[in-house]
Each structure stands twice: as C-alpha cells, then as structure tokens.
Structure 1
Amino acid sequence: MMNFGKVIAFALIAGAVAVGGTALAQQTGKVNVTGIRLAASGESDGNGPEAGKGERFSVPQVAQRVSEQGYTDITEVELEDGNYEIKARDKEGRWVEIYVDGRTGKVMHSEVD
C-alpha cells in the first residue's frame, strides 16, 4: 500500500506535468502532455540535465525529444530506475514501448506493444 507521502508526491508530479505540458504545447505546438498518464514508480521526476549535473530530463522534455523523433500519441510515461518507459505510436502508426535514457534523453530502443 502506498504511503501518504508518496500519494502527495505523485499528485504534485501529476500537477506539474499538467502545467508544464500546457506551457510546452503552447510554446512549441508539437506535444501536448496534459493527457499523458505518469505511472507511479516511487521516484520523483527531475528537472532535466540543464538543472544540474546528474539530473533527469523532465516528462515534458523527454516527451518533446521523443516526438521530435517521429513518435506520436504519447499516452503513458513511467520512470523506472532513472529511465523512462513511454507508450506511443511509431512512424508506422503501431503502438510501441519506447525506452529513453533519463539523463541523456536518447531513445535506447523500442518494441512493438
């Protein structure tokens, strides 16, 4: 069972994703992360590499990077062991799981879901 602190942390992260996603969508017109489900994994989301050495990309940053590589309809982002698992559609329209390095933002590999 999830403790109260994790529930609060998850709620804060989800709120930040919604606010950050709206700002990102307004600025770039490319990615709307307000509909992305952020899976609870017990880890908090970082502020991206530019925030300091050893930081992770944030959900909006990693969603933007993935969309720039041709992935669309990003519906779920899960942070696990410092890396992201993302559910999206590839260039051929297939649902895929994308594995992204949380520190570099690079797609490590993807698999058809």
Structure 2
Amino acid sequence: MLALAATVAAIQCQPRSVGPGSLRHGGTAGAACLVRAYDDGCRPAEYTLSMFGVDTIRSETFRTQATSGGCQIVVSSSFRVVPQAPHSTGRYTCLRVRRLVVDRCTPAATIPLTTF
C-alpha cells in the first residue's frame, strides 16, 4: 500500500521592488500577505523584497516556518551584480512580526518588510 504525503503549497505573496529615485512596485500588499499567513496559524508563505540599482540587485526573501513552539520567519538575503549569479549575504531566523517589521532575530536584527 502506498503512503501519500500531503504537501501544502506556500502562498506566493506579491513581491515588492524598489529602484533608483521613486520607482516602486508592489506596494505593501505582499508584506501584509506574509503577516496574515504568520498570524493565521503559520500558513506557509513567501514574500520577496528587492532593490534594483543600475547593474545590481539586492533581495530579501521572507518565509514562514512552523515550529513546535509556534511560528518563525526565515529571512534569506542575497546580492547580485548583473550578469553574475547572486550570492548569499545573510540568513536570519526571526520569532516575531509586528506591523510590517520582523524582529527577535538570530543573529540580532530588526528587519522591515517594505524597505531596506
């Protein structure tokens, strides 16, 4: 008899990107989506915040992760000089979301969901 494993697909929250000057796309809808998933029983969700320069891209990807003690947000940061491949610049595990900010992170950090 085959055992079936149920996989819950992560919610793909709308990304936000910022660039030179006042260029902004995505608003705060994606960040709010991640906060709702966190508050609603730690539903699997992912949200990406990116900042674009002339030939650079900085990104932070936020993912909810259920634990035996509740919910946490895992933040993965990367930086890329186009056309090179991105390289990891940091990883944080955060225990709390307040408004549009994650905090109580290891290593110590407070990370906004909508700005760098």
Q: Highest Rg: 1 or 2?
A: 2
TM-score normalized by structure 2? 0.32
Name the structure where strand makes up a greater proportion of residues: 2
TM-score normalized by structure 1? 0.33
